[in-house]
Every structure is written in structure tokens, then in C-alpha cells.
Amino acid sequence: MGIRAEETPNPNALKFTTDKLIFKGDSSVSVMPGDTSEYEILNELMQLDGVDNVFGYQNFITVNKQFDAEWDPLSSKVIEVLEKHGY
């Protein structure tokens, strides 16, 4: 089934769900501007133009975009990063 992008109640956030486990355990992971993570996938997402912050838990990552960014080009780039990491 691959990667599914789902809308959230926040118009500036999209949830990307995969069929595979990305993060083990019961802890969530978030990265804010200026922070880095032990997870390279989150660091790569933070480097994308238009990404404000990211949140991950088990098999999904929620990407929050900057207010002036457009989802069409950004969501494609997010999916490229996820696919690069095997999801």
C-alpha cells in the first residue's frame, strides 16, 4: 500500500502513514526548527524548503509546513524522502 498522505484538522499539517514501522517503542519523536534528531529521516525532512516541524510515532510522520508553503510540491518531496529510506 506504500505511503498515504492524510489531512489533519490543522491545514498546515499532513500525516504520512506507512505500512512499515519507522520508530520502535512507545515514545514519539518531534523536531522543531534548530533541533536535530537521532533519526536521519526527520533531519532530512526538516531540511526541506517549507517544513516548519515534524512529529513521528511508530508508522507515521506528521509534517507541519510553514504558513506560506504550498502542499503540492512539498508533499511530493516528503514522499521522496520517505521512499529513499525504504518506506
Count of domains for the chain: 1
Q: Does a structural domain hold residue 62? A: yes
Q: Which domain holds residue 52?
A: 4-81
Q: Does a structural domain hold residue 14? A: yes
Residues present in the chain in total: 87
Q: Does a structural domain hold residue 51? A: yes
Q: Report the phi/psi class of residue 34: left, alpha or beta, with left for phi > 0 and alpha for psi in -120 to 50.
A: left
pLDDT at 1 over 80: no
pLDDT in tens, 22-70: 999 999 999 999 999 999 999 999 999 999 999 999 999 999 999 999 9
pTM to 2 decimals? 0.95
Cell 506528521 sits on residue: 62
How many Cβ atoms sit within 10 Å of the Cβ of residue 42?
Answer: 25
CATH code (residue 23): 3.30.1370.70
Q: Does a structural domain hold residue 87? A: no
Cα separation of 82 and 68, whole Å? Answer: 23
Residue partners of 76: CB distance under 8 A and separation at least 6: none
Mean of pLDDT values over 12-18: 98
Q: Does a structural domain hold residue 22? A: yes
Q: Does a structural domain hold residue 42? A: yes
Q: Does a structural domain hold residue 9? A: yes
